[in-house]
Amino acid sequence: MPIELAILLVALGGILEGLFSMPVTRTPKWEFENIWFVGSLAALVIIPWPLVYLTVPDVGALYRSVPPGVLLAVILSGLAWGIGGIFWGRAIGALGMALGVSLLMGLINVFGSIGPMAIFDSAKIFSPGGMTLLGALAVMILGVVVIALAGRRKDEELRKSSSAGNAPFWLGLLFCLLSGILSAGVNFGFAFGAPLAAEAGKSGVPAFAHSFAVWSLVFTANYLVNAIYGLVVMLKRGTLHKLVTEGRPSYWLGAIFMGLAWPGGIIIYGIGAGAMGTYGAYVGFPMMILASILAGNAAGALGGEWRGTSPKPRRLMLAGILILFLAFGLLGYSNHLLAS
């Protein structure tokens, strides 16, 4: 696969990841737990296992072909991502799409890109490509900080507006931090599952589907945690009935969109990152994150989250986005250096 197409797939996966939680801010008659439960359940049922059974000849034999420790590491990574997903939804509800996605993806990037490289290929960190990657991440963090400042000023200007979120700004930041640390498990699962993907290739699985057996385990752990959480909260708060009494066709369609975009974006990213070569998991991941941030900001702007603000926070947000574009270019260059 041409490298340009691989990068395009990584970006497309990032766009879906940046947009999947959009229904959380567009289902006012449902509580958070309602949309999160239905979306997580849809993500659990619609994609993971049907894809595996359609592309892997003998799933059981494939899982038996790798050490149990590999499967355990993949599943634990999915569980971490699942818990991080709960905080993700809370952060989006508190901070809105634009700021929430920017902060979340920035934090996930820091832990999800350098973490696996430090574990699996630490010597490369101090190579020219690794140092360029670190520089790109530093630029990306700068962009996220600028975006956070813009969001803070927006929050101060719209403190009494519903578009500023239902929780204090500091609580939204805490949700972002917790989600950023735990949600990096998705890329750890991809990295830990490399032996499983390699065995899939040996058993005749098409190249684009090598990672499907990995994602099925990661997704099951993730979405099961989130679906159970949503159900428990609904039972505890007595909001289960709202699925029927307050449910609208657009709400259910939004939940289905979540169920398709959430895992679908990761699968498309995995195909693109795998095609980028040996270092796709390290460089492709932050590329996907950047695309997610840009998509989340576009959705937030189109959704009116910045309506009524002064030019100053808007200019700050634009500056942050431009810095992120610079980081994207540096990431592409770092992959070239790492592969050479």
314 or 168: which leads in pLDDT? 314
What pLDDT was estimated at residue 109? 59
- Pick from 71-80, 126-135, 168-177, 324-333 the range whose average pLDDT is largest: 71-80
Kindly report which listed range (3-7, 176-180, 191-195, 270-274) carries the lowest average pLDDT score.
Answer: 176-180
Maximum distance among all alpha carbons in the chain? 60
How far is 287 from 267, CA to CA, in rounded Å?
A: 15
How far is 142 from 214, CA to CA, in rounded Å?
A: 33
C-beta of residue 313 within 8 angstroms of C-beta of residue 153: yes
- Per the prediction, the chain carries an average pLDDT of 79
Which letter, b or e, does each residue of 200-214 get, where b requires 16 or more Cβ atoms within 10 Å of its Cβ?
beeeebeebbbbbbb
At position 277, the amino acid (one-letter code) is G
141 CB-near residues (< 8 Å, 6+ apart): 106, 110
For residue 163, pLDDT beyond 50: no
For residue 32, pLDDT beyond 90: no
For residue 312, pLDDT beyond 90: no
Measure the CA angle with vertex 137, ends 133 and 143; round to 5°: 145
Which letter, b or e, does each residue of 50-60 get, where b requires 16 or more Cβ atoms within 10 Å of its Cβ?
ebbeebbeebe
For residue 192, pLDDT beyond 70: yes
pLDDT, tens digit, 9 for 90 and up, residues 111-122 = 555 566 666 666
Q: How many domains are there within the chain? A: 1
How far is 106 from 145, CA to CA, in rounded Å?
A: 9
How far is 268 from 103, CA to CA, in rounded Å?
A: 22
Residue 164 pLDDT class (50, 70, 90 cuts) = very low
Identify the CA nearest to 23 among candidates 248, 210, 185. Answer: 248
For the four alpha carbons of 199, 204, 207 and 213, in that order, the dihedral sign comes to: negative
What pLDDT was estimated at residue 76? 93
What pLDDT was estimated at residue 231? 93
User: Per-residue pLDDT averaged across 329-335, rounded?
Assistant: 74
SS3 of 262-323: HHHHHHHHHHHHHHCCCCHHHHHHHHHHHHHHHHHHHHHHHCCCCCCCCHHHHHHHHHHHHH
For residue 155, pLDDT beyond 90: no
Residue 279 pLDDT class (50, 70, 90 cuts) = low
User: Per-residue pLDDT averaged across 292-309, rounded?
Assistant: 73
Which letter, b or e, does each residue of 313-336 get, where b requires 16 or more Cβ atoms within 10 Å of its Cβ?
beebbebbbebbeebbebbebbbe
Percent of the chain, pLDDT > 90?
10
User: Per-residue pLDDT averaged across 8-34, rounded?
Assistant: 85
pLDDT, tens digit, 9 for 90 and up, residues 50-63 = 888 888 888 888 89
pTM above 0.85, yes or no: no
For residue 176, pLDDT beyond 80: no
Q: Residue 25 sits in which domain range?
A: 3-339
